[in-house]
Amino acid sequence: MRIAAILGVLVAGLLAAGQGWAQDAEKDYPSRPVRWVVPFPPGASNDIIARLVGQKLTEAWGQQFVVDNRPGAGGLIGGDVVAKASPDGHTLLLANPAPNVNSVLLHKQPPYRINDLTPVVWLGYAPLIIVANPKFPPNTAKELVDYARSNPGKVNWASSGIGSSLHIGLAVFQMATGANVTHVPYKGTAPALLDIVGGNIQLMYTTSVSAEAQIKAGRVKVLGIAAKKRQAVLPNVATFEEQGIMNAEAIVWFGMAAPAKTPRPILDKLNREVNRALQLPDVRQRLDQLGLEVEGGTAGKFDAFIKSEAARLTGLIKAGAIQVE
């Protein structure tokens, strides 16, 4: 009886200590500047969204959320930085299909695994759009399919890198339409867009977020939207379904992730504050302008979505639509 009583006191003490530590971890976080790793070059959608939300976190907590662009290897370089960082909430990842799912599954020996990163919150998503150099003959996605069939192997289609959402979207498009195009991977969306504007390559998938300036200036034209509904920011651009192209929907999604084993109180605090930031009028207005569909919600919701994306890509690999490198 005495031993049981002693054990009970010890367990109660450990539980109380644990609860106190959790409260301190949440209260003291962040205790220094936070590095938010964006695994792509500056200027694209990931970078724009991280800077917008990061500024609101800086204002809320008085510690800088510093965007650290770490492009390369289809997002694996940036993802690896975070996966191997100390799990204290001071190194975060701008979560994206490439570093969180695609590149990990498409490489035989990735530097980390999907479970080495833990979801914090789903920021939102944007449908992919096809943009092309204005001199490229097709003006719609349907015309592009016909042109590619008549000119097999002569259409060069850029992406932001092997394993990127733009690369996966292309694989889906080819499987749905039978279009024969040549994939040309770049080290990010921004350099690929520059080559489209310069006429060095013909077209690519991107988002209205990334191509906003080029679209407004008429330096690229939009051939179609890989979604079931039109975008408010591109009201005159038809969806694929409106053009008779079925089963080719594709999106790029954005979120926040942290190293595995990051304490739950820190993850919860980040989740709450990001959800609050996403509802601020100026943030919503800017994200609406960029064509981003805001999600938010719990970490569990984001985790379930990432798992569904991993299952979808695994199906594409088994179908032979995309190859493991």
Cα gap 197→132, rounded to integer Å: 8
Phi and psi at 170, nearest 5°, equal -65, -45
DSSP state of 238: P
Topology given in CATH for the domain delimited by 127-250: D-Maltodextrin-Binding Protein; domain 2 (3.40.190)
Residues 6+ apart with CB under 8 A from 201: 133, 156, 157, 158, 184, 192, 195
pLDDT band at 13 (very low <50, low <70, confident <90, very high): low
Cα distances from 5 to residues 9, 16, 19, 199, in angstroms, run 6, 16, 21, 79
What is the location of CATH 3.40.190.150 in the chain? Answer: 34-125+252-318
pLDDT band at 45 (very low <50, low <70, confident <90, very high): confident
Mean pLDDT across the stretch 275-280? 97
Phi and psi at 116, nearest 5°, equal -80, -5
Determine the 3-state secondary structure of 41 from DSSP.
Answer: coil
User: pLDDT value at position 290?
Assistant: 81
Q: Can you give the pTM of this predicted structure?
A: 0.82
User: pLDDT value at position 161?
Assistant: 82
Task: Count, in order, helices (H) and strands (E) of the chain.
Answer: 12, 11
pLDDT band at 73 (very low <50, low <70, confident <90, very high): confident
User: pLDDT value at position 21?
Assistant: 43
User: pLDDT value at position 322?
Assistant: 86
Decide if 137 contacts 154 (C-beta within 8 A): no
Decide if 131 contacts 278 (C-beta within 8 A): no
Mean pLDDT across the stretch 64-73? 93
Q: What is the mean pLDDT of the chain?
A: 90
Token digits of residue 79: 């993802």
Which superfamily does 34-125+252-318 belong to? Bordetella uptake gene, domain 1 (3.40.190.150)
Mean pLDDT across the stretch 207-231? 93
Q: What tens digit of pLDDT does each residue of 78-109 get?
A: 999 999 999 999 999 999 998 999 989 998 89
Q: What tens digit of pLDDT does each residue of 162-203 get?
A: 888 899 999 999 999 999 899 999 988 889 999 999 999 999
Beta strands at 34-38 and 156-159: parallel, antiparallel or unpaired = unpaired
User: pLDDT value at position 10?
Assistant: 55
Q: What tens digit of pLDDT does each residue of 129-171 get?
A: 999 999 999 999 999 999 999 998 899 999 988 888 899 999 9
Q: How far is C-alpha 324 from the geometric centre of its chain's CA atoms?
A: 20
DSSP state of 99: I
Sign of the C-alpha dihedral computed for residues 49, 51, 54 and 58 taken in this order: negative
Cα gap 132→134, rounded to integer Å: 6
Cα gap 5→79, rounded to integer Å: 48
Which range among 2-6, 93-97, 110-114, 145-149 shows the weakest confidence by mean pLDDT? 2-6
Omega within 30 of 0 (cis) for the link into 87:
no
User: pLDDT value at position 17?
Assistant: 46
Mean pLDDT across the stretch 202-224? 94
Q: How far is C-alpha 15 from the geometric centre of its chain's CA atoms?
A: 38
User: pLDDT value at position 20?
Assistant: 52
